[in-house]
Amino acid sequence: MIFAQILISGFSLGSFYALIALGFSLIFGVTHAFNLAHGELILLSGYLAYYLWKFSGASPYWAVPVCLVVMPGAALLLNLLLRGVKAPFELNSLVITFGLALFLQNLMLWGFSADYRLIQPEMGRFLEAPGLRITETQVMLLLLSLAATGLTHWTLHHTFLGKALRAAIQDRRAALLAGINVRRMGLVAFGFGGMLIGVAGPLYAQTMYLYPAGGLEATLTAVVITIFAGVGRTRAILAGGWLLGVAESLATFLLGAGWRELVSAVLLIGLLIFRPHGILAKGEG
């Protein structure tokens, strides 16, 4: 039973990673904007959820729809900022979003202080089976990551808009020749990515702790999971998150907490060598 408990911990941790990475991957895939301020946007969403929870006293999950509505606005502002960026776009977007990340960190330091914040789940809410306990946070992480991944995948694969987005991800020039408004697709990607950031924020505030400089860790997690998955592969993001989460949990159990990062690094290097196009890529590895 202990291994089942470890797997649950691993899958919920992996779901958390996937939620952080989904928005980054989508925006990067469509627009090629390497958004180093991604983590800071998640933190902003987390702080919004934290204060909503703190002052309303309602369940933190009520903050999810609010963040879902607010955060696309922030992401679209970022899109506006990046619109005037000259070539080489990837490199310049990296520099601009790095500056933005520093700006947002200082803004949060000024606005929210350097204190660590954490949304406390209600104690005593869990699912229990003999020898197993799944907490409410773990259930919500699993459900919301599945829902977010499922919805993103469905949108990308079963709607006309999604097909246009995928075309922009796969080959921007070919998409332009096919009459797809790539710029508008960028706007859609930022809006949709903002919604995913809106979902990730409240869960970040509940799973991790918030502090103004914490965005870097979230951005790094998003980058690592995107490398694991391959750009624009939504299901692979969840699979990559789960793989990393389970590997970290098993490493902690079998080798000790100090080995966790080393195991992740080895896994990442191994994937880059043996499956450079992503964990679920077919015939490219």
- Chain positions contacting other proteins, by CB under 8 A: 2, 5-6, 9-10, 13, 16, 105-106, 109, 113-118, 120-121, 123, 126, 133, 135, 137, 207-209, 211-213, 217, 248-249, 252-253, 256-258, 260-261
What is 251-271 written as a DSSP string? HHHHT-GGGHHHHHHHHHHHH
Please say whether the beta carbons of 180 and 164 come within 8 A: yes
CB of 236 to other proteins, least distance (A): 21
Please say whether the beta carbons of 22 and 148 come within 8 A: yes
CB of 117 to other proteins, least distance (A): 7
Two tokens, residue 45: 């969403």
* CB-facing half-sphere around the CA of 146: CA atoms within 13 A: 8
CB of 203 to other proteins, least distance (A): 12
Q: Which one, of 216, 170, 226, lies nearest residue 193 by Cα?
A: 226
Whichever of 93 and 248 has its CB closer to other proteins, that residue is: 248
Please say whether the beta carbons of 27 and 156 come within 8 A: no
Whichever of 179 and 258 has its CB closer to other proteins, that residue is: 258
Tokens 């509505």 identify what position?
69
CB of 114 to other proteins, least distance (A): 4
Q: What 3-state DSSP class applies to 126?
A: strand
Please say whether the beta carbons of 121 and 206 come within 8 A: yes
Whichever of 97 and 207 has its CB closer to other proteins, that residue is: 207
In 60-165, the DSSP E strands lie at: 126-129, 132-135
Tokens 């204190």 identify what position?
115
CB of 133 to other proteins, least distance (A): 5
CB of 22 to other proteins, least distance (A): 17
CB of 17 to other proteins, least distance (A): 9
Q: Which one, of 22, 38, 4, lies nearest residue 218 by Cα?
A: 38
- Element holding 98 (H helix, E strand): helix 89-112
